[in-house]
Structure 1
Amino acid sequence: MERTASTSSKDLIARTRPFAAQDTARSLWALGSTYAALVGAVVLAVAAPWWPLRIVGGLIEALVLIRCFILFHDAMHGALLPKSRWAKALFQVQGLLTLTPARIWNDTHNHHHANTARIAADSAGTFVTWTTDQWRKATGAERLGYVVERHPVTQLFGYFTAFLYSLCLQPFVKNPKRYWTSGLAFGVHVALSAAVWHFFGLGVYLTAFVGPLFAAYALGTYLFYAQHNFDEVAILPEASWNHADAALEASSYMRFGPVMEWFTGNIGYHHVHHLNPRIPFYRLPEAMASIPELQGPHITTLTLKDIVGCLRLNLWDPALKRMVRYRDVQVAPGT
């Protein structure tokens, strides 16, 4: 039987709709200033006369790449310049160059939004989360696969695991007709990588190409993981699942300072974004400040304590109604 959202859920979503109206001038400024910052960072990473400055340029480039991704992300949700043909073409090209081809991104990310906090749903577009009972019943090989997918090393190497493999190589191999753009993105990336190394040398390759990409995708992969995997997260029973509760109970508010809010495009307001993904990133703080129900979120940070705590939580215990560690679950010998 098809389940419908509660009246309160529908009402809360309706109250976010005024904030889903974009300001075209503000969107254009965000786009222009972000790309200008990216060019400046790349120039610093390539041409600074002192190599420590090149490393600084590369780190700034990595952070600006995250903001570039947020612009792409919002455009795919229809929240940024949705009626502009040139903007659509621009973001299609950006997606190819940054290993997020539009088709595979939309297919997996829209699935993620529609199924956040649902154990029964397919894990496409997100990190799989098992219940303690699923862990007990799984084979050793299945458990190993689960551990590897959620392991910190997998997130650290998100450039290869989440982007080159999961968004490009894997979908192209599985369905080349539908995901030909994923294959194109992979090929273009390999060609660009070889060209940068050949024409500019190993130093520039490390400081301005692979280094920033590695750092950006490691942080981006962790942010995606952490904003749905934290101490107070709630995985909702299927019978009582609704979109608003999933947004508020299974998406965090990651508290940043103003500088990191700029670089991350306000993605820390993740509970607001999940409630209504058509709100442009620059209006998320406004929506949170205006709607009382959004002002008591589950808060996470990038402090070492929160990061370690987040990475240690891996299984949902329905009885305790919280995430637990692997070692907290008793498994029969030999299973």
Structure 2
Amino acid sequence: MDRAAPLSSKELIARTRPFATQDVARSGWNVVATYAALAAAATLAVAAPWWPLKVVGAVLEALVLIRAFILFHDAMHGALLPTSKWAKVLFHVQGILTLTPARIWNETHNHHHANTARIAADSAGTFVTWTTEQWRQASGWQRLGYRVERHPVTILLGYFTAFLYSLCLVPFVKDPKRYWTSGLALFVHGALSVGLCVFFGPAVYLLAFLVPLVLAYALGTYLFYSQHNFDQVNLLPESDWTHADAALEASSYLRCGKVMAWFTGNIGYHHVHHLNPRIPFYRLPEAMAAIPELQAPHVTTLSPRDIIGCLRLNLWDPALGRMVRYRDAWRPALAPVATREHVSGPLASA
């Protein structure tokens, strides 16, 4: 039997379009359910009679905050309630409250989608990735800055580094007129912090506000980092870059249980999301199940082994066609992995 010809990049993207339509009732239900779960978790963190339950409430609030962020993320992509005026207001307010003002988020995140896996692209909206040659040629101060940006502590403190600093403080200082919403987010966030401490006490501030945000942004920052920084990632020279290849070769599928999939809003289907960001989060599994070309992704997990392995990969080695550690930049060139092609899978002939 003759094998079917591989799909081109355009054909594969076209296959996803039937899934880039939402069920308005389902979208609305997800918004209501998510915010109800967030309110319940915050209530548990504040009002539980036993302090271990308060801690459980804070952790649950952090997890639901990630899901709430995915709703915002989808709305900014036009995948969730795009014609709803109330939803637009709701998500813009959420963006202010959660340090992701719509303007700076859209600019940086859309840039990220348009330039994923491009070696020479500007790093706005993502973690910068250098080649081993760039590392060797950089000054000591430049290497230090690169190390700091990609350091596990920077990711762990994503609440301060990625959100307070990068999405709010820096753009507001650079251009207050254009990014006034970033300044507003800082002001509102500060006012909420002071208000909670003064009127409800430090315990409420810590358990219902600071701890959930720090935990949520630590996990969220890691998810964003890890799904484009894994052992099999394939960064592409400009001459070979296509949107579909970047989605399948440089975005992973995070395999996790149904519970974590709910809390993370299916963002683990990252290769599908990057192929077509207008697919609502609740239809990503459906799209993957229906399109054979999406069913052999690069897989990652949240196991300690995979997390440690991800955090140890720091530089792109074009000769080997894979990510390596800092120390590998100074080693003699090794033979490329024999089983690895520059572009694998159904798009190899696109």
1:1-335 counterparts in 2 under 5 A? Answer: 8-330=8-330
CA distance in 2, matches of 1:283, 1:256: 17
Structure 1, unmatched stretches of 5+, are 1-5
- Give me the whole-angstrom Cα distance separating, in 1, the residues matched to 2:268 and 2:7: 27
Secondary structure at the aligned position of 2:316 is classed as strand
Shift of 1:119: 1.2
Task: Give the Cα–Cα distance (whole angstroms) in 1 for the partners of residues 83 and 207 of structure 2.
Answer: 37
Tell me the CA shift for residue 201 of structure 1.
Answer: 1.1
Query: What TM-score results when the alignment is normalised by the length of structure 1?
Result: 0.96
Distance 1:313 1:198 in 2: 44
Q: Which runs of 4+ in 1 moved over 6 A?
A: none
- Per-residue displacement from partner, 1:155-176 (whole Å, max 9, x unpaired)? 0000000000000000000011
Q: Which amino acid aligns with 1:195?
A: G
Number of aligned residue pairs: 327
Write the distance in 2 (CA, Å) between the matches of 1:151 and 1:229.
Answer: 13
Supply the distance in 2 between the matched residues of 1:119 and 1:232 (Cα, whole angstroms). 16
Cα distance in structure 2, aligned partners of 1:182 and 1:188: 10
SS in 2 for 1:323: strand
CA distance in 2, matches of 1:269, 1:15: 16
Normalised by the length of structure 2, the TM-score is 0.92
What is the rounded CA distance, in whole Å, between the counterparts of 1:9 and 1:177 in structure 2?
40
Describe the SS at the equivalent of 1:329: helix
Residue type matched to 1:181 in 2? T
Amino acid in the other structure paired with 1:50? W
Q: Per-residue displacement from partner, 1:70-129 (whole Å, max 9, x unpaired)? A: 000000000000000110011000000000000000000000000000111100000000
CA distance in 2, matches of 1:111, 1:62: 27
C-alpha displacement of 1:200: 1.2
Residue-by-residue CA offset, 1:134-174 (whole Å, 9 max, x unaligned): 00000000000000000000000000000000000000000
Amino acid in structure 2 at the alignment position of 1:283: R
Q: Which runs of 5+ in 2 are unaligned?
A: 1-5, 332-350
Secondary structure of 1:316's counterpart equals: strand
- Provide the rounded CA distance (Å) in 1 between the counterparts of 2:123 and 2:279: 25
Aligned partner of residue 22 in structure 1, secondary structure: coil
Residue 330 of structure 2 aligns to a residue whose secondary structure is coil
